Structure 1
Amino acid sequence: MLSVVICTYNRAALLDKVLGSLCKQTLPAHDFEVVIINDGSVDNTEVVATSHAAKLPLRYVYQRNAGLASAKNHGLFACRGDVVLFLDDDDIATEALLEEHVKTHAEFPAEHFAVLGYTALSPDISEDPLMHFVTEVGCFLFSYPSLKHGDALDYTYFWGGRSSCKRSLLLDFGVFNPVFRFGAEDIELGYRLSRLGLQVIYNKNAVSYTIRKIDFDAFCHRLERQGASSYVCSRLHPAPEIQQWAGTADSEQSWTMIGGHFEAIIRSARHLDSMANLKLATGLGLDEETRGLLYRAYWAAFKACKVKGIVEKKESLNKMEAFIGQEKTAGSVQG
């Protein structure tokens, strides 16, 4: 009935916890399978996966490292369920997660309906100021505050790692574009499927908990990569709605204003982030003024990182296209 596809790369310790949570599902084990795609890990991912094989209907597949979109496609072709749920390798499933996805698909059986579950922060990282900001304030990671249970949403909510859909929809009408190694692969596919009427139903009771704390520098790097992927998506689909989602329209103008101050913006935010964590580590809370300054610094830094990723990817592709053009010209002259 349901296939849970988990794509993973060098996160064996986290994967072990995720698989442990899937052993406790209210959905009977004969109604689901777990397909693990190891995207070229060099840690003990295989050992962790096989250690759960006796407790779960599990299959393990290894591929050379090719990125998230490729791994998701591999999982899609390897699985056998009518519904496929893409679950992140750092998200713990609550006991009813799989059952809730199945129930919503039963309520909306038409092929074009997908389901979005709710991902919260695990208790041990929920008080972290950065993680709280990126999920509940700036919504750089998730964007749940404005959603209501049962909402019918568009393709921009076809979020990887917490969404499920009918497998036949993807097999018949489109899979993930492997050009996306990280970021935008889910929205880009969702946009293509939206032409077929894709709707995403939000089920707040399909709950998972993210257990991986992301530090400031790692999140900056993440947003640069997302910016690059967003630009690629905007090149593939020139529609105004994709340009708006990708944030590419004013990127060069924005970079002209902030590029010369980028390092200072990052240093300032990093310093405030360190001070905030030091206060919390010593038992001191964050007053409203400090929290406000910190959030403004986060906002400036993360926006700048995404713009940087967009602009650098644009420059890189422009150089590549110019080189290819020169090669073609040279070849024509020689011919």
Structure 2
Amino acid sequence: MTSTSQLPITWNMNRENLTVSVIIPTHNRSASLRRALDALQLQSYPIDLMEVTVVADTCIDDTLAMLQEYKAPFKLHAIEVNCRSASIARNTGAAAASGELLLFLDDDIEAMPPLVESHVRTHQARRGCAVMGVYPPKLQGATRYFDVEVRAWWEDKFYQMTHPEHRFEYRDLLSGNLSLDAALFARLDGFDSAFGNCGGEDYEFGIRLLKAGVPFVMATEALGYHYEHETNNLDRSFRRSRQEGRSDVLIGQRHPEIRPLLHVNDYEIPYSLVDKVLVAVAFFWPAAVDFLAAGLRKCLDLLQSLGMRLTWRWLRAKLRGYWYFRGVMDELKSRSAISSFLQGGPARADLSDREIEIDLQQGWEAAERLIDAERPDGIYLRYGELIVGHIPPQFGIEPLRGVHLRSILATSVSDRLLVAMAANGMPKNSETALENPLIAVDSYELVIGH
């Protein structure tokens, strides 16, 4: 992962300047859209190198009138479409864009002044990447269990993604604050328009980016605040869960190798007897289970009022799982179709012919350099003649980088590594090796713990 935190904020006009097309799809949220446009006026990037294209998708509020009256210091284009599809809206904006760089922003994100500049600087440092900015939810003072859960999820998501050792997967491709070279976006045919209004087009696009060898990069200063909570609630989250079920099926149909990783597998072998009964009844009498789910939804409000947070979380997870399953049913219709869908993919998600073997006895830095040179999908680790671990390949995840090795050894093979080192002769500081998280291996520091 590349971070831009070390990059200066002041724009250097002597460096190559990229033209940027900011693309904002919107649907009946004129107030949020105005806030997003106002924030773009305050960007530190030269305003004459920016254009903003708003794609108004089936808007029946005052969005179009607001755009006609809006006074912008940058080039502002408005395109009206009637598709109710974020993927088509984004593709439409990209097709009309003239910038070298495409920057996709959601209409409920308030961009901080360095956002555009940080995207540009990251692309200048590493051309050909998919660059994502951070957009935590603006939820100060919110105390509802749902708001707290949403905030915690997003904060943890960005915390993990901004760690240098994070290994990106296709689910990390977030289109709310995303930039790519316009030529690269066109070459990959953009977002899959077949996803319509069920969402998931960003995850599918993430798979194609990874298959094409496009690195994911976080630009930590490309910060925007997400105001989705203004329209987000429990009922909407359950609708999204149903859409996620549908979109996972579409992803699996386009990329069969991903099928073993999808939550669809959870419903082939339900966890408990209650789950088995509900799955069986849902196929034959879905309206009855929907009615039960609606009643349980009301229980969430009661649990909140009683302060029963753990029970609230358990029930919400069950309801999310049910509505996800209903989305799967929407696409596949029957239990036999689900079984056929899962059997149509590989039996395992850890198969690849791009694996290498590394001898950690040769030194820490040597191992990192070899991984960066080979970018393997999997690694067999040994110390001298002794095998200490295996990092198996995984579908839908970026090839390994040298920086990944540190955390893998710390969390997966530290015990076996210590045994192998002892068997082959500990380094000079071995007396404190079991207590000290740093162990020297041939004069290199090998981190095996925190």
In the other structure, the counterpart of 2:148 is 132
Distance 1:237 1:147 in 2: 24
Secondary structure in structure 2 of the residue aligned to 1:17: helix
Shift of 1:245: 4.3
Letter in 2 for 1:20: D
**Per-residue deviation, residues 223-255 of structure 1 (Å, max 9, x unmatched):** 11121111111112111xx21443222334446
Of 207, 217, 223, the residue aligned with 1:191 is 207
Comparing both chains, which one has the higher relative contact order based on Cα–Cα distances under 8 Å and sequence gaps of 6 or more?
1
Distance 1:154 1:251, change over 3 A: same
* Post-superposition CA distance 1:138-176 (Å, at most 9, x none): x6x983242225556243322111221111111123221
Q: Where do residues 1-335 of structure 1 align in structure 2 (5 Å cutoff)? A: 1-109=19-127, 111=128, 113-124=129-140, 126-137=142-153, 143-149=157-163, 151=166, 153-182=168-197, 183-213=199-229, 214-239=232-257, 242-254=258-270, 256-259=276-279, 260=281, 263-264=291-292, 267-273=295-301, 275-276=303-304, 290-315=308-333
C-alpha distance in structure 2 between counterparts of 1:85 and 1:127, whole Å: 33
Equivalent-residue separation in structure 1 for 2:183 and 2:141 (angstroms): 37
Distance 1:228 1:48 in 2: 34
2:114 maps to amino acid:
A
Which 10-residue stretch deviates more, 152-161 or 266-275?
266-275
Residue 73 of structure 1: how far off its partner (Å)? 0.8
**What is the number of residues matched between the two proteins?**
303
| 2:228 counterpart SS class | coil
RMSD (Å), alpha carbons: 2.7
| Separation in 1, partners of 2:156, 2:316 | 15
1:15-58 Cα offsets, whole Å, 9 max, x none, are: 12111221221222112211111112111111222333433321
The alpha-carbon deviation at position 263 of structure 1 amounts to 4.8
Q: Rg: which structure is higher? A: 2
Identity percentage over the alignment?
Answer: 24
Greater share of helix residues, 1 or 2? 1
Q: In the alignment, residue 258 of structure 1 is paired with which amino acid?
A: L
Please state how far the C-alpha of 1:66 moved relative to its aligned partner: 4.6
Alpha-carbon contact 1:154-1:199 (below 8 Å) kept = no
1:280-301 deviations in Å (ceiling 9; x for gaps) = xxxxxx5xxx322222222222
Q: CA shift at 1:74, angstroms?
A: 0.5
Whole-angstrom distance in 2 between the partners of 1:272 and 1:81: 47
CA contact (8 A) 2:303 2:312 kept: no
Give the aligned residue type for 1:143: K
For residues 256 and 312 of structure 1, the distance between their equivalents in structure 2, rounded to whole angstroms, comes to 19
The question of whether the paired residues in 1 share the 8 Å contact of 2:41 and 2:72 is answered with no
**What amino acid maps onto 1:89 in structure 2?**
D
Distance 2:172 2:332 in 1: 25
Distance between the aligned counterparts of 1:258 and 1:199, measured in 2?
42
Amino acid at match of 1:304: Y
TM-score, length basis structure 1: 0.81
Unaligned runs of 5+ in 2: 1-18, 282-288, 338-450
Return the letter of the residue paired with 2:160: S
Q: C-alpha offsets along residues 210-229 of structure 1, whole Å, 9 cap, x if unaligned? A: 21221111111111112111
d(CA) in 2 for partners of 1:63, 1:91:
21
Shift >6 Å, 4+ stretches: none
